[in-house]
Structure 1
């Protein structure tokens, strides 16, 4: 669902106004819009006393909105309606520890209840129903942190009833009757075994299985409401994952959708029947195809009226009204209320209205080639004024930031990207590369990254930098590397394994020691730890341990010769604080300069806007010091944050002054 982007008029970079950090990274005006299943209410996230909370209004009178939550510290980042529309649900953790509990707010009374009132517990939604709307199935790991027992939750009374004690399974699949139909368990081949469940009894032997090759690209995708058809996203016997329908009674399967370049990545199903009505795949850009003619007509209607990307984020039970998101890429995100019966499209909100008219830049999808011929889907954003003819190449090389995604089993996508826009506005080309191991492009692409941490996965990033230099995009001596999680790790690898390639690096919650990383994973990841071992290296074997040590930047810290900025959350359950502490200490011991910023109230990334803005203030001034780009002064950006400068304030322009030193 795309529309062509026109090239903005060329302007000298110096005359382009700086987009304030707070405009890009502060609270949006609204986000996450939903419509209640009965169509009577609208809901969204918006600031209340500076913190994102849930707001609700009658569908016919959005101006009569009121906040129904009162979070004063950590922002609420997602919410959803109970199927019976009597309450709104949300999940929240404490300080970034990712122990998410489930909360509800009764619409009639406004009363809030903790539905999973347990300590050190992470809730999962296992199943919801079209026909049983006052109950859902949830997984709770309060008995054993490694495994989620399945409970039936009455959304209106809060009563929890144990359905399935779980001592070995990674997950479950339920039907519309809220009956468990399948259990998933990792197997010795590095994949999953799928066990049928009948009358509450889990079969002794699996009915389906995968190996490591298909582990990330094959999974059950749910049942139709009548339970007769089961859907799969399935790559077995093929490369890219297809959408497949299986007749439950006969076991016969048929392919509904497939694409030779990308996995099927999304679907719209009838809210009443559960039957698939449309599907999407996302190679360089997302593309939707309708199966149902009426849905096809609706998608065509939206395509004709919206510029850029769009999709459906909420629907009523009768499917008469949709909430549609719209991403113009060079404009702020919007949401619309689409009345399919009346054929009307009404703007619901603009997420960041202050970005209207800002000098946002186009994102250019690319296909780059790795040294071994593998195609790397990538995205490039250029500074304003650098590309007068709009061909996706600057008229002369500019400083560049290589932004590496996390995961690594995730991907970069096309669309408005706050990091891309921020860095491009500061005068940098911004390149994001789907290196091997990224998801969405078939199992061969994922598996090409197996046991290649710091090796071919890193080679892909270096090949992308070399392409940018050869194409005249990047100034060879002014390229930075930056990313979070795996992207933070890639930054550390970049500065240790290829120490002369990058002018500087920014590592956010990046692991430095893969051996200790695997020892400190969250307990609920233990059932799938064999996947990590198979794709990274098994610390329980001499060969695997040697592989992990070789790929760990910690042991090469003395090779770092370029400036490094590290950001870390103290409560991170995935990449423990020790991962950053270790490499900072190793650099300190060798008298190698490093700047280290720690947040005591954050986890795997920075959820609080004040903390995110503070770190970005440091980052852009760090990059300006290294690459010479523009920056908004740090000023008082640190004051509302909890940022602790553990090390190296003197290496970032304006940081010592901002600290009052």
Structure 2
């Protein structure tokens, strides 16, 4: 379906055709389905797009290359039976690089596991760039790369060549193994080492491919910054006049000295600066004091940033120069989609074709290519075309002040005016991730069943600088729970929530909070649902993949502390006598991040206390359910549980 027609009126950019909406509510399975595409990228020539597309069963993600000449010609490329791909990029007009990937259910998309492959657009010359390929009989595997590889820069001045960061596996090189960067010819697989540092490091490269900024970590995992003031200079400590604590999201100008970078000096939200490396000076370009820059949008194929986007509060955009060509183009495109956000993600080398995505709280998103010469836009793909925005609930960004004076942001998703029965849905992580305005299938499913959904970005969440994250350290069962409760009371005071019908539901850390908040605030809740949740903090120090490494153990010590009495006092599995509401526990048997020891600790504690609890445990699932049929079962059971305790018949069933 093409939603675009060319504008006939003089001066008009284009006209957006109307979309009809279906009145019938969506069935459970439509919220459980996977996206039809995961990503879209535009070729440098602007004549093709590449899409990462899962098959119908979701067991494989293929690469599809589509010609944009109107022919609809599509080439489907596979990289092995039941293999997934991610991080699709073009190294030249007809050459692509992909990462082999595994599905991450809570991310709802494939995530790279460190193997790189390349192919031409017809799939005739596929090349394994980085991987560990075992020998097969007398045939020796060509690649024996014992580590994780990722493309960090495409070298536009050397068509077909990219820079690849390679990090050795810990069990091979230890946790302090070297960081190595290779220049790789994606057609032949030939590689040459261009940078090496004796410990883990991250690099930022200038236009020539020379590493100019380096970030390492000290013994407390704090960033340490070095730079090369000139391309031929040695590494030296970065002066405070350029950056204090961290540097990220960099873009080098063609002079290989001017850098646009997001900088945080002391742990505050990052600000966008223009740095002069040789002079050691900087100029501020954009930023907010209360939230981080979520991402930047760039001019053309490889131009400087023209806008900074913020999403940890109500979404907003700062244009570096509102009168610039690309800011004006973005504004013109944005006006065609009232109530939605629009992100320019790429452009052709000549700047005449522009790839952009459109999305909102009601719309999972769609990708378009805009032809600036013909003044036409072409719909490439809708992420979930069966979702009709007019049928979805609106998501309202909120802001409130906690009992100790902190300003917090959050979201309320609901259909119509309140008060509604409320589901409190804390996010996972908890340090780094955060909830942002946009389409959320869990929230939309619950809203479709008549519930309001509250999401609070409590202290410790990402999106607001390192200081805000650290404010949640060792407060898992304390101030972070107070923040969630303060958000619930705000929703009650603003007539969004029925105070007699409130339940909690969350995944991972959200599962912990879903049980811990009713322990701390039993007067607020009628039920609780933990999904692949953490329930015993002492178990977390020993089981799962986080304590497998020294850095993981340091992280747990930093965010939880090492006082066993405190950990026990903040573990729901140790506090079942204080859980006075019905509980539903959901887990995947193959979860490595939060293994079954956590579920067992909570379920066994309930059993020992003689407290009945509902459970759903599924074979073959990990940290979040992936198979649509299992997701559908989870949603169905979740709705039935909520209906029983805070739905229309709750007073009769629960006896309150």
Q: TM-score range by the shorter chain?
A: 0.7 to 0.9
Does the 8 A contact of 1:68 with 1:110 survive in 2?
Answer: no
Q: 1:584 aligns with which of 564, 583, 603?
A: 603
Q: 2:51 aligns with which of 32, 44, 55?
A: 44
Over 3 Å counting, the alpha-carbon distance change for 1:366 and 1:427 in structure 2 is same
Q: Secondary structure at the match of 1:296?
A: helix
**In 2, distance between residues paired with 1:111 and 1:49?**
26
Tell me the residue number matched to 1:656. none
Q: Secondary structure at the match of 2:328?
A: helix
Q: 2:647 aligns with which of 624, 628, 635?
A: 628
| Residue 277 of structure 1, CA deviation | 2.4
Does the 8 A contact of 2:367 with 2:380 survive in 1?
Answer: yes
| Residue 232 of structure 1, CA deviation | 2.8
**In 2, distance between residues paired with 1:618 and 1:590?**
24
Q: 2:27 aligns with which of 17, 20, 25?
A: 20
Query: Could you list the per-position Cα deviations for residues 355-388 of structure 1 after superposition, in whole angstroms to 9, with x for gaps in the alignment?
Result: 23652121111112211222221111223xx42x
1:351 aligns with 2:383: yes
Q: How does 1:593-608 map to 2 (within 5 A)?
A: 593-608=612-627
Over 3 Å counting, the alpha-carbon distance change for 1:265 and 1:355 in structure 2 is closer
1:53 aligns with 2:82: no
Q: 2:330 aligns with which of 285, 290, 299?
A: 299
**In 2, distance between residues paired with 1:362 and 1:329?**
6
Q: Secondary structure at the match of 2:423?
A: strand
Q: Secondary structure at the match of 2:425?
A: strand
| Residue 302 of structure 1, CA deviation | 0.7
Does the 8 A contact of 2:301 with 2:348 survive in 1?
Answer: no
Over 3 Å counting, the alpha-carbon distance change for 1:108 and 1:608 in structure 2 is same
Q: Secondary structure at the match of 1:60?
A: coil
Over 3 Å counting, the alpha-carbon distance change for 1:250 and 1:491 in structure 2 is same
| Residue 332 of structure 1, CA deviation | 5.2
**In 1, distance between residues paired with 2:219 and 2:193?**
29
**In 2, distance between residues paired with 1:615 and 1:220?**
38
**In 2, distance between residues paired with 1:76 and 1:285?**
30
**In 2, distance between residues paired with 1:363 and 1:305?**
20
User: Structure 2: 5+ residue runs without aligned partners?
Assistant: 1-21, 106-110, 134-145
Does the 8 A contact of 2:151 with 2:162 survive in 1?
Answer: no
| Residue 436 of structure 1, CA deviation | 1.3
Over 3 Å counting, the alpha-carbon distance change for 1:357 and 1:192 in structure 2 is closer
Over 3 Å counting, the alpha-carbon distance change for 1:439 and 1:238 in structure 2 is closer
**In 2, distance between residues paired with 1:208 and 1:515?**
42
Query: Could you list the per-position Cα deviations for residues 128-167 of structure 1 after superposition, in whole angstroms to 9, with x for gaps in the alignment?
Result: 3332342221223333363574242332223454555565
Tell me the residue number matched to 2:289. 260
1:115 aligns with 2:132: no
1:615 aligns with 2:638: no
Query: Could you list the per-position Cα deviations for residues 187-231 of structure 1 after superposition, in whole angstroms to 9, with x for gaps in the alignment?
Result: 24652111336889974x633589xx986x754634334421233
| Residue 72 of structure 1, CA deviation | 5.8
Does the 8 A contact of 2:75 with 2:122 survive in 1?
Answer: no
Tell me the residue number matched to 2:513. 490
1:342 aligns with 2:369: no
1:284 aligns with 2:284: no
Q: 235-244 or 398-407, which moves further after superposition?
A: 235-244
Q: How does 1:427-438 map to 2 (within 5 A)?
A: 427-438=450-461
**In 2, distance between residues paired with 1:622 and 1:455?**
27
| Residue 112 of structure 1, CA deviation | 4.3
Q: 2:463 aligns with which of 425, 440, 444?
A: 440
**In 2, distance between residues paired with 1:362 and 1:312?**
24
Over 3 Å counting, the alpha-carbon distance change for 1:47 and 1:184 in structure 2 is closer
Query: Could you list the per-position Cα deviations for residues 533-578 of structure 1 after superposition, in whole angstroms to 9, with x for gaps in the alignment?
Result: 33x1343xxx5x5444433333223433323333334444433343
Q: How does 1:457-536 map to 2 (within 5 A)?
A: 457-519=480-542, 520-522=544-546, 526-527=550-551, 530=554, 532-534=556-558, 536=559
Over 3 Å counting, the alpha-carbon distance change for 1:195 and 1:627 in structure 2 is same
Does the 8 A contact of 1:401 with 1:481 survive in 2?
Answer: yes
Does the 8 A contact of 2:247 with 2:263 survive in 1?
Answer: yes
**In 1, distance between residues paired with 2:81 and 2:425?**
32
Q: How does 1:117-136 map to 2 (within 5 A)?
A: 117-118=131-132, 121-133=147-159, 134-136=161-163
Query: Could you list the per-position Cα deviations for residues 423-461 of structure 1 after superposition, in whole angstroms to 9, with x for gaps in the alignment?
Result: 111110111111112222345533432322111111011
**In 2, distance between residues paired with 1:249 and 1:268?**
26
Over 3 Å counting, the alpha-carbon distance change for 1:503 and 1:232 in structure 2 is same
Q: Secondary structure at the match of 2:625?
A: coil
**In 2, distance between residues paired with 1:608 and 1:575?**
19
| Residue 623 of structure 1, CA deviation | 2.2
Tell me the residue number matched to 1:403. 425
Does the 8 A contact of 1:266 with 1:280 survive in 2?
Answer: yes
**In 2, distance between residues paired with 1:549 and 1:82?**
52
Does the 8 A contact of 1:173 with 1:181 survive in 2?
Answer: yes
Q: 2:399 aligns with which of 367, 390, 403?
A: 367
Q: 1:137 aligns with which of 164, 168, 183?
A: 164
Tell me the residue number matched to 2:139. none
**In 2, distance between residues paired with 1:273 and 1:155?**
20
Does the 8 A contact of 1:75 with 1:608 survive in 2?
Answer: no
1:181 aligns with 2:207: no
**In 2, distance between residues paired with 1:495 and 1:360?**
29
**In 1, distance between residues paired with 2:548 and 2:256?**
29
1:567 aligns with 2:590: no
**In 2, distance between residues paired with 1:318 and 1:238?**
39
Tell me the residue number matched to 2:15. none
**In 2, distance between residues paired with 1:320 and 1:437?**
43
Q: 449-458 or 607-616, which moves further after superposition?
A: 607-616
Tell me the residue number matched to 2:6. none
1:223 aligns with 2:252: yes
Over 3 Å counting, the alpha-carbon distance change for 1:112 and 1:502 in structure 2 is farther
Q: 192-201 or 545-554, which moves further after superposition?
A: 192-201
Q: Secondary structure at the match of 1:419?
A: helix
| Residue 47 of structure 1, CA deviation | 4.2
TM-score (norm: length of structure 1) = 0.81
Does the 8 A contact of 2:251 with 2:304 survive in 1?
Answer: no
Q: 24-33 or 515-524, which moves further after superposition?
A: 515-524
